[in-house]
Structure 1
């Protein structure tokens, strides 16, 4: 059985993206070079940030081709995190709303990848 424990995002600037995610998750990158950076998410999943200009084979998808979903405890935590990220200047694609799977909002990282926060079963 395969274990999905690594997410790779193709980014314009690995160092800029590493700073963005370090601030967002409160953890410094584990590895960083001009073409690649890696961080550990609180869940233990590794996040790789690979330069879209040097990835091999060449990436063909445009910016923002991925979504990372993160769960929080409840609807109040969704709303609080939304306010925090908004204050940090993150672009908000979807304001907090209740959907069939729970309360959620969506922000964008500097490369246009979606960052979805949600509280399951709260919708």
Structure 2
């Protein structure tokens, strides 16, 4: 029987591609992949590529984007990233705390997606 091997690509639909690209590169330090398809921006993330893209649906028809989806990113330093985002005025959805994977917190991106960041467990 054929079966899934695991997540291979993650993309979020965003309202303003240029603004979101700036947020993810400047505030989160993501680097652009060498190639992106039209109407999308792919970032160089490992082991699973992450992208933002122009919407294929009316995003404003949803009361909250990403409701029910848990999207976690590993960070090299969750504490420092938390302080940087807080200083930049980014909405922190869950405070910095110890979690199952190490230090963690959650923030809201420009479109209102909740993204959890965690460090490595010590």
TM normalised by structure 2 equals 0.71
Counterparts in 2 of 1:10 and 1:26: CA distance versus 1, 3 Å = closer
Q: State the Cα distance separating 1:118 from its structure 2 match.
A: 1.4
- CA distance in 2 between partners of 1:79 and 1:44 (Å): 22
Q: How many residues are treated as equivalent by the alignment?
A: 114
- Structure 1 outlier segments of 4+, above 6 Å: none
Q: State the Cα distance separating 1:20 from its structure 2 match.
A: 1.3
- CA distance in 2 between partners of 1:100 and 1:113 (Å): 22
Q: State the Cα distance separating 1:94 from its structure 2 match.
A: 0.9
Aligned pairs for 1:99-110 (under 5 A) are 99-110=99-110
TM normalised by structure 1 equals 0.70
Give the RMSD, CA atoms, in angstroms.
Answer: 2.8
- CA distance in 2 between partners of 1:9 and 1:26 (Å): 15
Q: State the Cα distance separating 1:107 from its structure 2 match.
A: 0.8
- CA distance in 1 between partners of 2:101 and 2:46 (Å): 21
**Which residue in the other structure is 1:17 paired with?**
20
**Which residue in the other structure is 2:36 paired with?**
31
Counterparts in 2 of 1:84 and 1:32: CA distance versus 1, 3 Å = farther
- CA distance in 2 between partners of 1:32 and 1:19 (Å): 18
Counterparts in 2 of 1:44 and 1:22: CA distance versus 1, 3 Å = farther
- CA distance in 2 between partners of 1:61 and 1:47 (Å): 22
**Which residue in the other structure is 1:95 paired with?**
95
Q: Per-residue displacement from partner, 1:23-76 (whole Å, max 9, x unpaired)?
A: 22242464375xx22222331532232222xx16x6775543044312245xxx
